[in-house]
Structures are given as C-alpha cells and as structure tokens.
Amino acid sequence: MQASDVFWNRIARKYAASPVADPAAYAHTLDRTRSYLNASDQMLEVGCGTGTTALHLADAVAHITATDISSEMTKIAKEKADAAAVKNVTFAVSDTQLRDFADSGFDVVTAFSLLHLLPDIPETLSRVHEVLRPDGLFVSKTVCLAEDNPLIRMAVPVLQWIGKAPYVTFLRPEQLEAKIRAAGFEIVESGEHNKRSRGHFVVARKSG
C-alpha cells in the first residue's frame, strides 16, 4: 500500500457522507464538462472517489472507466452505481500511473480535485496524454492554494503528521496551466468555479 491509499481508505466512508461543499459551483462544473461529451465517448475518470461525478455524467457518454487509488472509495462507488442501476460505469482500483490503460485511446479523461494531491503532476499528465486518443480532451478541476492564507500552508504539515491531511501541492492557476501545456495539451477553456475553495477548471486538448 502507498501512504496515499491508506489515508483515503481510512476517510472513505466519511468522505462519502459529506455534502458537496458548493453545490452551485459543482453543478456548473458538471454542465461545462457535459458540454464537451458525446454519446459515443469512451471516458476515463482518474481519482473518482466515491463515484458521484461519474454517476452524474454516465448518461452523456457510452462508457466511463472510473479509477481511484483507494479500494474503499471504489467499493462505495460500486455500491452507489448498483443502487442507481447505472450500468455503463466500471470502477477499478488504479493509481495515476494508469498501467492497465496504456493503449486505451480514451476520448476524454477527467480528474476532479485530484492533481493538487499528487507529488508528481507532470508524470500524471504524461500518463493522461498517453491514454488519450489524438485530439482527445482532458477535463480537470484542481484546488489551487498557493495564494491562499499562508496559515493553511503552515498547518498542512502538522495535519499530515497527525494523519488528518493528505499530501498537497500548493499551486497557482497559471502554474497548473503551464504544466498541462508542457505535457502536450492546448487549453481550450479555463476558469474558477469555486472561488472559496480555489477550484480551477481546465479543459485541454491533446495536441502533441
């Protein structure tokens, strides 16, 4: 097990029970994402958590493979899919190396509230690039905390030490966008959907 799946497995049931922090911003993110989806699309969601977003978007595409490093998260996600009788979403345990999906040629890859939790964002972006078809889309929303209250930055290591916070990369939106471009994408839309929680939404097209 990696440190990150231990943390997320431990908090999975609590995470599943927490309400969406900003329902209006979440609805806007779903709407903007949906506007890029086609009924024939094969989609991959990375870091799907308990499957809420995949289950919301399932009717807009042909199939979603939704992955997460945490087996507890994917277990809850499967329970939710069964309860909602959603048949075109497959949940699987995977880290962001995406080893099982190398030649999949997905039309769309999504990652919501994930990239800031990763120690090596360029490596993940390069894996995402690899599993997309030419011209495929990468849709993400990422918490960008670099310009937030410095006390948060000071508190995070303490919270991590007592097991109450995961790994966090402190990003500025423009740094995030530069990393996405450097991985071989062109940005087609970006903006803030959650002003308070700093959720930076980016739609990028595979170009290189």
Instruction: Please name the residues in contact with 149: beta carbons below 8 A apart, sequence gap of 6 or more.
Output: none
**C-beta of 135 vs 195, nearer to ligand SAM:** 195
**C-beta of 190 vs 197, nearer to ligand SAM:** 197
Q: How far apart are CA 139 and CA 119, in angstroms?
A: 20
SS3 64: strand
**C-beta of 37 vs 48, nearer to ligand SAM:** 48
| Least distance CB 17 / ligand SAM (angstroms) | 13
| Least distance CB 69 / ligand SAM (angstroms) | 4
| Least distance CB 86 / ligand SAM (angstroms) | 16
| Least distance CB 159 / ligand SAM (angstroms) | 14
| Least distance CB 25 / ligand SAM (angstroms) | 12
Instruction: List residues binding ligand SAM (CB under 6 A).
Output: 4, 8, 47-49, 52-53, 68-70, 73, 95-96, 112-114, 117-118
**C-beta of 77 vs 180, nearer to ligand SAM:** 77
**Residue in the structure block whose two tokens are 């497995």:** 9
Query: Which secondary-structure segment (H or E) carries 189?
Result: strand 185-194
The distance in angstroms from the start CA to the end CA of the chain is 34
Q: Cα torsion for 71, 77, 78, 84, to the nearest 10°?
A: 170
**Residue nearest ligand SAM by beta-carbon distance:** 49
Query: Which secondary-structure segment (H or E) carries 205?
Result: strand 199-206
**C-beta of 40 vs 83, nearer to ligand SAM:** 83
**C-beta of 191 vs 208, nearer to ligand SAM:** 191
**Which DSSP category does 35 fall into?**
T
Q: How far apart are CA 200 and CA 192, in angstroms?
A: 5
| Least distance CB 109 / ligand SAM (angstroms) | 12
Copy the structure tokens of residue 30: 């779903």
Q: How far apart are CA 80 and CA 75, in angstroms?
A: 9
